[in-house]
Each structure stands twice: as structure tokens, then as C-alpha cells.
Amino acid sequence: MEMRRSERKMDKKGIDEVLVETLIGNLATTRDGVPYTIPIQFLYEPKDKAIYFHGASEGRKIDNIKENPKVCFSAFQLIGLICADKACEYDQSFRSVVIFGTATFVKDADKKFEVLKGFMEKYAKDHPAPIPVTRSMAARTTIIKLSIDEISGKQNIEGTIHFPEKER
């Protein structure tokens, strides 16, 4: 699908940066025609052209994926607000990525172990004593691979930026 504001289209380098830097994304699934979205931690593996996430072995997310493996994923970075003279001209400065793909359950023990180590490197790299991942942890963890069918990135990084959170 063609992007309406083509001047905001992000290149592959920008898309990769967003997916590596962003800590939380949103996964959208459907079941019986009912949409469901949930924030998740994720790991982007460009070499696999995939997003990985983990979770419990049961629940709504898992049930939805089993019934319909077609999913949508998004990652978003808010840079700030763009001020204007008119209310309807206010905007946000951001970078975002949207992915459409197919979710499958990872069964290979070595791949599950590799993915969990990647999660620890991403999320616990600043921890003073990170807990090492073991193969038994990997065996007990549900890992899901989102194979990327379609990916796009959009950004708006121009304008006068106002940071409301710095005023609190």
C-alpha cells in the first residue's frame, strides 16, 4: 500500500534503528473477527527478517495466533510535540514502523536459546549482574517468530519541538 505522505517515508536504515532502539511494540491479532492488541517486548533480527517475542504458553495472544497467524506489529518513538499558531496545526515529531507478517511458534531449542540471549542483551545490558540464560529456561519459554511480509516506516522529525514531560 502506498504511503499518503511520501515525504515522511523512512528508509531501511531508519526502520532498522527504530526496531533496534524501541523497547516496547504493539502486536495486533484477530480471532473470530475480533481485534486484539497488546504491548510486548520484542527482539528484531534483520538477518532473519523477523521480530521475536515471548510469553506464556497459553492466553489470548497465543489462542489468537493459533487460530489466525496473520498479525500486525508496530513500534513507535515519540520525539516531541510540534507547536503551531493554530490548534489544528499542532503535530508530533516521531518515528514509527508498521509490519505485517505471519507468526509461528519456534520449536528449535538452539534458536529459542539464541533468541532469549538476544532479549537479555537488549533489555538487561545495563543490569549490574545480568542473569545468564540457560537452556532449561529456553525450553520452558514460548518463543514466537513474526516473519515479515511487509514493512514500512514513517517519520516526522522537523519543526519546533516542545517537550511537555520536561515541565512536570
Task: Say which range, 25-29, 69-73, 129-133, has the weakest mean pLDDT.
Answer: 129-133
Q: Is a pLDDT exceeding 50 seen at residue 168?
A: no
pTM for this prediction: 0.85
Q: Is residue 82 a contact partner of residue 160, using CB atoms and an 8 Å limit? A: yes
As a whole number, mean pLDDT of residues 18-24 equals 96
Q: Give the whole-angstrom CA distance, residue 148 versus residue 49.
A: 6
Q: Is a pLDDT exceeding 60 seen at residue 167?
A: no
Answer whether CATH 2.30.110.10 is correct for domain 6-167.
Answer: yes
Q: Which three cell numbers stand for residue 54?
A: 515471548
